[in-house]
Structure 1
Amino acid sequence: MSDSNTTNFINPSTFILLGIPGLETTHVWISIPFCTMYAIAILGNFTILFIVKKERSLHGPMYYFLCMLAVTDLVLSTSIVPKTLSIFWFNSREIDFSACLTQLYFIHCFSVMESGIFVAMAFDRYVAICNPLRHSAMLTNPVVAKIGLAVVLRSGMLVMPHPFLARRRPYCRTNIIPHSYCEHMAVVKLACADIRVSSYYGLFVAFCVLGLDVFFITVSYIQILKIIFSLSTKDARLKTFGTCGSHICAILVFYISAIFSSLTYRFGQSVPLHFHIFIANVYLLVPPMLNPIIYGVRTKQIRDRLLRLFTHKGT
């Protein structure tokens, strides 16, 4: 019996996404938390954007970066969830070859972009706490715009080789991807050619993002902590540290998830495939869901504006 998925071809017209292999019978149940997390991410991030736009007192560097983070989270979660839910609900597993590479690009590009925004936010907190008198002079609107542009260009250029390298590979084995979305290594592993360039470049991007970004964030917070611990009173220390609390929580959620997923993918050969695919989805869904909650709860200005919004609606 012939199998169209295993016949020889240079470039497939479509790929077949399996969802979460081994858990096909529970796809509908898994879709419930996935859909819930996506709905919270959409509602929360749009709420952040709405509040910052409406409240003129929030028109500053910290909140501009927060808006960039919200937009990034919206694009990142939307890049994977609709297709994943269509697999879970309607068994719609086919994805066009070009659409697959586009999804691959968006997922990795906006993941890198999110990391860059966290670095920019750490720099903003560093200037605000370590050089408060120069904060408004250093981080003007044009400077914030240039930082945002640099973050976008860096992520775009770093990830651009991924789809180009993937497109140039001959695919003569199968077009079945044991994943719920077009993850870079999951796609190139289907190629019947040497994929070491793609693998090494993927490690290089991971080092640039996870390595350098975490290093810069750590250096910023070491300097911030030095200032905090040098303050004379406990109340002053707590108040100053409180301005960084939401950022630290968001950073921990993102990087712990990213490092765990990366280590599981590269070194967890004994980890069941369905567990790895599930974690890979959660890694891309949890930060977009939690970021607006973290900033909404821990940032007084956003919390107060949100309470006023509901209070006015209730009266």
Structure 2
Amino acid sequence: MSASRPLPRPLRTAAARRGRPTGPFLVAPVTLLFALLLVLPMALVGMLSLQGFDASSGGVLDAYSWHNYAQIVAAPYYHEIFLRTFGLAISVTLGTIVVGVPEAWFIFRMSARWRAFFLILTLGPLFISAVVRTLGWSILLDGQGVVAQMLVRLHLVDTPPQMLFSFPAVVVVLVHALVPLMVLSVWTSLQSIDPQIANAAVSLGAGPFTVWRRIVLPQTAPGILSGSLMVFALSASAFATPALIGGRRLKVVATAAYDEFLHSMNWPMGAAIAVCLLVLNLGIVALYGRVIERRLKRRLGEATS
């Protein structure tokens, strides 16, 4: 009896494909893990935000209503906290753009050896714990810290200023922490730019500002937009820096939710504050991505035409 002949290669490939999992089966484990670690906890937080709270006994009531959200919408106290939070996020985003975009361009123009060194130096804040980094800044910005003593020795001020527990201090520390994300985003966009284009523009008589406005900025616009989205979302939900640098007097949404959870023990109200922050953050990011991005690209396109 003759041995069975092997199948032709196309038939072998088709037979092998029948035994392999398809796309939905390949992404099913990741989707399940995502649902368990993110969607399920957020659903539980949303359910908790609808429950009541008994202040006398300090317990959560098994009754569901929109009372917590109505209290957040009606109370001016929460309006001020949310406005301060998103004002902080906008200030930090603008600060990272002002610092990070030129920094990424200067590093991009360096030689390969110095480029690697300064890029690693720029990414340094990402390698340090947020608490350790913030505590270091609190020592620098204290009334007896290095910055205050230097200002006194330079005769810029008469008495050491207390820079802690202020809005500008929180902005500075968050810009230092998040500017690497802006640099990385802009750096990715700069990889598609030929440095000789800028040199050619200079040889044709264009000044540095013209080169930056008409050549570099339009090419880096996608990186600036993606970096702004990341910086805004992270700064709006930041907790460690506002808590340690801003203190009790400069309360943001994250610290307000923390106080409701651990100080007042009002878990439903803390969950409602967290859900409001998430919804507003996602809404602003989506609006920025759909509207502001289109307008900026249209203006940059008109500027380059």
Q: Identify whether the pair has TM-score above 0.5, normalized to the shorter chain.
A: no
TM-score by length of 1: 0.23
Larger RCO: 1 or 2 (CA < 8 Å, sep 6+): 1
TM-score by length of 2: 0.23
